A = this chain, B = another copy of it.
Amino acid sequence: MASKKKAKKKTAKKTAVRVKKEAPKNAFYAQSGGVTAVINASACGVIETARKNKNKIGKVYAGRNGIIGALTEDLIDTSKESAAAIRALRHTPSGAFGSCRFKLKSLEANKREYERLIEVFEAHNIGYFFYNGGGDSADTCYKVSQLSKEMGFPIQAIHVPKTVDNDLPITDNCPGFGSVAKYIAISTQESSFDVASMCKTSTKVFVLEVMGRHAGWIAAAGGLASTEDNPIPIVILFPEVEFDQEKFLAKVDANVKKHGYCTVVVSEGTHWPDGRFLAETGLKDAFGHSQLGGCAPVVANMIQQELGHKYHWAVADYMQRAARHIASKSDVDQAYAMGKAAVQFALKGHNSIMPTIDRVSTKPYKWKVGMAPLSKVANVEKMMPKNFITKDGFGITRKCRDYLEPLIKGEDYPPYKNGLPKYVRLKNLPVPKKLKKFEL
């Protein structure tokens, strides 16, 4: 036993020396755009996989508030976090390092920012760039991936997919979406049960507003609430379908007459034929200020005024994308796998790519990790296929259900303390700065 230990120690020393010789590059990791219930699971995948490959990747530096952290040299040294803290990222919602809404301009339009990135990467020996975000962020990542070619700076840029909007191309689905879908499906089901019990003498229509300005993926998930065992009269308003007030009210009224109640799931992106969002109501307060409201109250008022049904409405907003407490296990697993694969692809020498989730089969659900070139991902939006929406425009088809169901499968509960989830907050210690200040 003792001799074995010694031998191990020797090897460790040897490796340490070798590592020093090769001076492995550090990695930069950042979170971008709207955060999700599982983006930290991807961070966990990146950091844990990098830690397992210390001979090839030095430290993982996280950008504080996304790419802004890189530009301002505001780097977080993730090596100061314990293994337990990094493990806990897997069950913690939101962006542990801070996110940002910031899109790099093109190289021609703002060369100064790219030069600064190179300056920061060089100063901190960064050779890997992992960017965790949606469509806009994929564009940023793509631009960084071109630095090798365009400016002669050796960097491997890999995009880690993330978006509750589920609108990235090529990948079957996007980490973050499955958990929102599960939350909306369950909330729609639970609230519908509530209305069904109240409808005899009280509320007859419940309206739930969900995210999705351009694509109706999240609204579609509301349709999952109605199952063969528990059918529920649900009317969905998609951004893909122009709002037809008359047809909509007739549908709601028919449901109330037949079932006693009706649930409406409305996407925030629902709009009139002329393009105006339902939420833009032209409402003014007592002082003449315009009021920005949600579209749920607009739809609810319409139902009350035209049909006279008592209503309740809810707006899920951030709750839906932060609801780690009811995250989908498929989603958590895939988010982690994307982070892990990003590092593995980097170690194989890839640049300018994004790992993808490739569906192998739906029943039983099987998927594997694939790869897409960033040039084909950046700035491409995947909309809902037409055959996912029923002909009347208010529901989801069997095809859509088959696609969505596996994505909300499985529960992955966080640990609890005193009735609350034990979400981690990292120390987020800064890497000492080496450069002059940079004005954004």
Contact = CB atoms under 8 A, between A and B. Distances in A.
Interface stretch (A104-112, A145-153, A312-320): A312-320
A84 interface: no
A319 B187 contact: yes
A182 interface: yes
B285 A281 contact: yes
Given A186-B420, A315-B314, A318-B314, A425 B230 contact: yes
Contacts of A99: 197-198, 200
A419 B194 contact: no
Interface in A65-109: 65, 68, 92-102
A252 interface: no
A295 to B, nearest CB: 12
Contact of A98 (B94, B197, B297, B422): B197
Q: How many copies does the complex hold?
A: 2
A201 B322 contact: no
A325 B190 contact: yes
A290 B280 CA distance: 16
Interface stretch (A367-375, A384-392, A410-418): A410-418
A326 interface: yes
B201 A100 contact: yes
A291 interface: yes
A25 to B, nearest CB: 27
Interface stretch (A11-19, A212-220, A221-229, A349-357): A221-229
Kindly state the interface size class of chain A when it binds its partner: 35 or more
A309 interface: no
A26 interface: no
A324 B318 CA distance: 20
A93 B100 CA distance: 38
A323 interface: yes
Contact of A191 (B193, B198, B294, B319): B319
A196 B94 contact: yes
A287 to B, nearest CB: 9
Contact of A419 (B98, B292, B314, B328): B328
A35 B197 contact: yes
A229 B425 contact: yes
A104 B190 CA distance: 29
A403 interface: no
Interface string A394-422: 00000000000101111101001011111
Contact of A284 (B37, B94, B202, B284): B284
A147 to B, nearest CB: 23
A423 B230 contact: yes
Contacts of A230: 423, 425
A377 interface: no
A68 B197 CA distance: 13
A286 B297 contact: no
Interface of A: 31, 34-35, 37, 65, 68, 92-102, 182, 185-187, 189-191, 193-198, 200-203, 206, 208, 224-225, 227, 229-230, 281-286, 289, 291-294, 296-297, 301, 304-305, 312-319, 321-326, 328, 405, 407-411, 413, 416, 418-423, 425
* A-B residue pairs, 8 tightest by C-beta: A95-B197, A408-B419, A314-B317, A94-B193, A190-B322, A65-B200, A194-B322, A191-B318
Given A96-B197, A190-B423, 16 more contacts: A35-B194, A35-B197, A100-B200, A187-B323, A189-B421, A190-B322, A190-B324, A191-B319, A193-B423, A206-B317, A227-B420, A230-B425, A289-B305, A292-B304, A314-B314, A328-B419
